[in-house]
Homo-oligomer: A and B are copies of this chain.
Amino acid sequence: MLHLRGMKLKNDLLLRTIGGETVERPPVWLMRQAGRILPQYRALRAKLSGFIELVRTPELAAEVTIQPVDELNVDAAIIFSDILVIPEAMGLPYEMVEKRGPLFPNTISSQTDIERLTSGTPAADELNYVYEAIRITKRELAGRVPLIGFCGAPWTILSYMVEGSGSKTFSKARRFLIQHPEAAHQLLDKITETSIAYLKKKIEAGVNLVQIFDSWAGILSPSLYREFALPYISRMCESIQAVPKIVFAKGAWFALPEFGQLDCEAVGLDWTVEPSWGRAQLGTQQVIQGNLDPCALYGAHDQVRTATLELINKLDARHIVNLGHGVYPDTPLDSVRTFVQTVQNYRYS
């Protein structure tokens, strides 16, 4: 598959930016750009039994991956998938309950539960539908823009496997770290090995770069984050050398100096971090990705333009423009277009 990845991209701005080259303008894409903001996505989704069917059907996953490239002309595609395919591949299936989110019929509560899990390459081998979706997407994109692969960070994946669903506090998952630290490390180790094998297979299938999402970073205290989250992200970064890596840990403002030391090319910031403060905390090694408040896209077009330009002007030329979190499903598509076009009309002087 290397010929696909190696194929010359028509728009390689994201890769040049993350590679540290001097660029004419920042690249732009949106977290959750393949999703409910697009009428095409909603139309397709209405015909299916549910979200998980879409994730598991390579042709359809490829189709929705490409929709925002067609519709919004963003500078990157991100493969349509779900971070929770990893627990599933490890032996913990889940359902997606409409308006409530993911639900795991079985959860992890003991060392025996952890020992029963598959991990590493054998687990990653369960996810052929993802690699197939990537191959189809690459073929159909035909080099228009780079394709991003992703997975959850180990702590975030553990939090769902233990909690069994979304939660405001994830107190059950956090309690597990406190009461069973050794078992937690064992589980994090298995998740990490699986995620590394998974990302490597995604890269083999053709993704040009990867993003690691630590969605629940912000509910851990800094000391728990340093013990149970950072070392595993660090190991993942060190194990993936074939493509550039973006680490996005929502709410982990307190760990930015440590992120500055990670072996990754870019770090995502959420919208509570002032970009200039974020840069100062992070140091100069990495590209910053982010971080417009997703709610800024609810504004009138001139508000969106102003907010977008303000963001670019607050950062240096090592910046991938994105929101500070996934785009909200009810965001007007025209505002998303204004956001993208404002970035694409910008030129570094």
Contact = CB atoms under 8 A, between A and B. Distances in A.
A251 B222 contact: no
A175 interface: yes
Contacts of A260: none
B222 A175 contact: no
Given A254-B274, A272-B254, A274-B254, A295 B218 contact: no
A184 B303 CA distance: 17
A203 B76 CA distance: 58
A295 B328 contact: no
Contacts of A253: 253-254
A171 B295 contact: yes
A168 B169 contact: no
A324 B254 CA distance: 15
Interface string A284-312: 00000000011110110001000000000
Interface residues of A, number: 34
Interface of A: 166, 168-169, 171, 174-175, 177-179, 218-222, 224, 251, 253-254, 271-274, 277, 293-296, 298-299, 303, 324-325, 328, 330
Contacts of A273: 254
Contact of A298 (B175, B274, B299): B175
Closest 3 A/B residue pairs (Cβ)? A174-B295, A175-B298, A221-B293
A166 B166 CA distance: 14
Contacts of A224: 293, 295
Given A169-B328, A254-B273, A273-B254, A298 B179 contact: yes
A218 B293 CA distance: 12
Given A293-B224, A295-B177, A295-B178, A171 B328 contact: yes
Given A179-B298, A299-B179, A328-B169, A274 B222 contact: yes
Q: Which of A254, A298, A303 has the most CB of B within 10 A?
A: A298
A327 to B, nearest CB: 10
Contacts of A166: 168
Contact of A299 (B178, B295, B303): B178
B178 A272 contact: no
Contacts of A295: 171, 174-175, 177-178, 224
Contact of A221 (B171, B272, B277): B272
Given A221-B272, A254-B273, A271-B221, A296 B328 contact: no
A178 B168 CA distance: 25
28 contacts: A166-B168, A169-B294, A169-B325, A169-B328, A171-B294, A171-B295, A171-B328, A171-B330, A174-B295, A175-B295, A175-B298, A177-B295, A178-B295, A178-B299, A178-B303, A179-B298, A179-B299, A219-B272, A221-B271, A221-B324, A222-B272, A224-B295, A251-B272, A253-B253, A253-B254, A254-B272, A254-B274, A254-B277
